[in-house]
């Protein structure tokens, strides 16, 4: 892995900074951006009945509409990694957030599925940098040993966004409709773009000045790395399950399988989001604590994702009386996959960090797009006589498919580890 360093441009070591000023000027603006990104990602789980009712959307159409976020998000990951390493996170994220604000505005005005898809596509494109730009910034401004915990707090900001997308959105719908919600989100997104641009400091000397061809050589090094591919299948399938379920199908599951009312669904998703926040923060601390005891971030990530699989199994097999408890466990353990991002970043030179994280994110979001739509198609197959309530069997089959894919990812990691691949 060290051989890549000579091929990459080298910025100065700015990662020694970890002061309160960095927290205020670097962490908070990026955290606000990711708050909005995650809110956009999961808000459809709460407003799904309104969207379906207003536009007569079938489950497959609803799944496609929500999944468009993932495919536009994913389609920009490779160029995003190059842009982050070349121009820096401040300029890239502030520019892209303008597109997200425009997308939310288009979404709020749309009266057809086509208009909603266009707006959702702009949103996905616009927030595509919110996590990766933050991760890139933290590799520049915080010491290496702090990355897992800082990343954990960044993810907790996303958990707050998921929290805001539950009961608070349901409360807001008592005073406005989903259009009003998205109009307010568009304004908030423009404010976030301005905050990132005007508050975050620039580290021009830490950006990469290699040619585009040289930067693609860095991508080639990642794509041919056995270190990368040891973790990629498990991380991709685990994060796909978490994003696909939590971003849309958790709400319909709670309605159709558990039989909860709309307010009960919002309250349960609120608790799931709280569990996410607790998970993101605690897993960052745990990873750092274990690292001091010579337990690698990779080991922590793999065990965490295996426990998340157990949580999904509990959702599938336990009686409905345990629904709320099982979904809280789902929300807490679903956060463990993010440790793999820090593990991979630590395995490559800092100048490749943007491309490493966007490469794994590309795999995650392409797969999430496919699975979120496919889950809707599977549920459609089990819809009984076009009734509004979906048959529970469709949910069980679609959730089980995700679990099987994760088992294959875990098996892949185990087989590659037996070949003594150097993963750290």
DSSP 358-415: HHHHHHHHHHHHHHHHHHHHHHHHT-STT-SSPPHHHHHHHHHHHHHHHHHHHHHHHH
pLDDT in tens, the chain (424 residues): 444 443 344 443 444 444 677 778 889 999 999 999 999 988 987 888 888 888 877 777 888 887 888 889 888 888 888 888 788 899 999 999 999 999 999 999 998 889 999 999 999 999 999 988 998 888 888 877 777 778 888 988 998 998 898 889 989 998 999 999 999 999 999 999 999 999 998 775 455 556 666 667 777 888 888 889 999 999 999 999 998 898 788 988 998 888 888 889 889 999 998 998 999 889 888 988 898 898 998 999 999 999 999 999 999 998 888 999 999 999 999 999 988 988 888 888 777 777 888 889 889 988 988 898 898 888 888 775 554 455 688 899 999 999 999 999 999 999 887 764 444 4
pLDDT at 210: 61
Q: Is residue 423 part of a domain?
A: no
pLDDT at 2: 42
Domain span holding position 112: 18-201+211-417
Do the Cβ atoms of 304 and 413 come closer than 8 Å?
no
Look at the block and give the residue holding tokens 């010579």.
Answer: 294
Do the Cβ atoms of 33 and 130 come closer than 8 Å?
yes
Q: Is residue 2 part of a domain?
A: no
Do the Cβ atoms of 67 and 372 come closer than 8 Å?
yes
Q: How many beta carbons lie within 10 A of that of residue 214, not counting itself?
A: 13
pLDDT at 239: 95
CATH number at residue 296: 1.20.1250.20
Euclidean distance between the first and final Cα of the chain, in Å? 11
Q: Which of 256, 423, 260, 257 is nearest to 348 (CA)?
A: 423
Helix ranges (DSSP H) in 43-112: 44-55, 59-75, 77-87, 89-109
Q: Is residue 206 part of a domain?
A: no
Q: Is residue 4 part of a domain?
A: no
pLDDT at 420: 47
Do the Cβ atoms of 74 and 105 come closer than 8 Å?
no
Q: How many domains does the chain have?
A: 1
Q: Is residue 410 part of a domain?
A: yes
- HSE on the CB side for 144, CA within 13 Å? 13
Q: Is residue 10 part of a domain?
A: no
Token reading at 353: 């960090």
Q: Which of 340, 374, 370, 371 is nearest to 357 (CA)?
A: 340
* DSSP state at residue 335: G
Q: 328: Cβ–Cβ under 8 A, 6 or more apart, which residues?
A: 271, 272, 274, 275
Look at the block and give the residue holding tokens 């502030």.
Answer: 94
Q: Is residue 264 part of a domain?
A: yes
Q: Which residues of 308-342 are buried (b: 16+ CB within 10 A; e: fewer)?
A: bbebbebbeeeeeeebbebbbbbbbbbbbbbbbbb
Q: What is the CA radius of gyration of the chain?
A: 20
Residue 320, SS3? helix
The C-alpha atoms of residue 112 and residue 296 are separated, in whole angstroms, by: 49
Q: Which of 269, 100, 123 is nearest to 196 (CA)?
A: 100
Q: Which of 388, 270, 357, 381 is nearest to 81 (CA)?
A: 357
pTM: 0.76
Do the Cβ atoms of 340 and 236 come closer than 8 Å?
no
Q: Is residue 43 part of a domain?
A: yes
pLDDT at 212: 64
């Amino acid at each position: 892995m060290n051989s890549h360093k000579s091929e990459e441009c080298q910025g100065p070591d700015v990662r020694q900074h970890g002061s309160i000023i960095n927290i205020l000027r670097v962490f908070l603006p990026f955290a606000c951006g990711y708050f909005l990104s995650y809110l956009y990602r999961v808000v459809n789980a709460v407003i799904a009945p309104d969207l379906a009712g207003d536009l007569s959307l079938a489950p497959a159409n609803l799944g496609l509409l929500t999944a468009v976020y993932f495919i536009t998000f994913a389609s920009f990951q490779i160029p995003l990694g190059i842009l982050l390493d070349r121009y820096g996170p401040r300029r890239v994220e502030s520019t892209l957030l303008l597109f997200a604000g425009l997308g939310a505005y288009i979404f709020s005005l749309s009266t057809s599925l086509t208009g909603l898809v266009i707006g959702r596509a702009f949103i996905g494109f616009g927030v595509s940098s919110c996590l990766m730009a933050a991760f890139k910034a933290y590799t520049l401004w915080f010491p290496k040993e702090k990355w897992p915990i800082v990343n954990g707090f960044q993810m907790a900001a996303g958990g707050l966004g998921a929290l805001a997308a539950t009961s608070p959105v349901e409360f807001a719908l008592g005073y406005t409709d989903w259009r009003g919600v998205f109009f307010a989100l568009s304004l908030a997104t423009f404010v976030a773009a301005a905050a990132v641009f005007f508050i975050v400091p620039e580290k021009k000397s830490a950006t990469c000045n290699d040619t585009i061809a040289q930067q693609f050589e860095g991508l080639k090094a990642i794509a041919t790395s056995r270190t990368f591919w040891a973790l990629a299948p498990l991380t991709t399938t685990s994060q796909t399950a978490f994003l696909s379920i939590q971003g849309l199908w958790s709400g319909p599951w709670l309605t159709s399988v558990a039989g909860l009312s709309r307010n009960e669904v919002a309250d349960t998703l609120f608790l799931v989001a709280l569990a996410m926040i607790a998970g993101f923060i605690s897993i960052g601390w745990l990873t750092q604590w274990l690292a001091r005891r010579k337990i690698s971030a990779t080991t922590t990530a793999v065990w965490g994702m295996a426990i998340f699989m157990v949580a999904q199994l509990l959702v599938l097999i336990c009686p409905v009386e345990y629904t709320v408890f099982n979904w809280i466990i789902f929300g807490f353990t679903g956060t463990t996959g993010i440790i793999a991002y820090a593990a991979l970043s630590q395995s490559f030179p800092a100048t490749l960090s943007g491309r490493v994280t966007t490469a794994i994110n590309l795999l995650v979001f392409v797969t999430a797009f496919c699975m979120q739509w496919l889950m809707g198609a599977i549920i459609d197959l089990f819809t009984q006589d076009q009734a509004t309530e979906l048959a529970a069997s469709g949910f069980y089959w679609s959730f089980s498919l995700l679990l099987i894919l994760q088992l294959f990812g875990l098996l892949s990691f185990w087989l590659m580890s037996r070949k003594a691949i150097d993963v750290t």
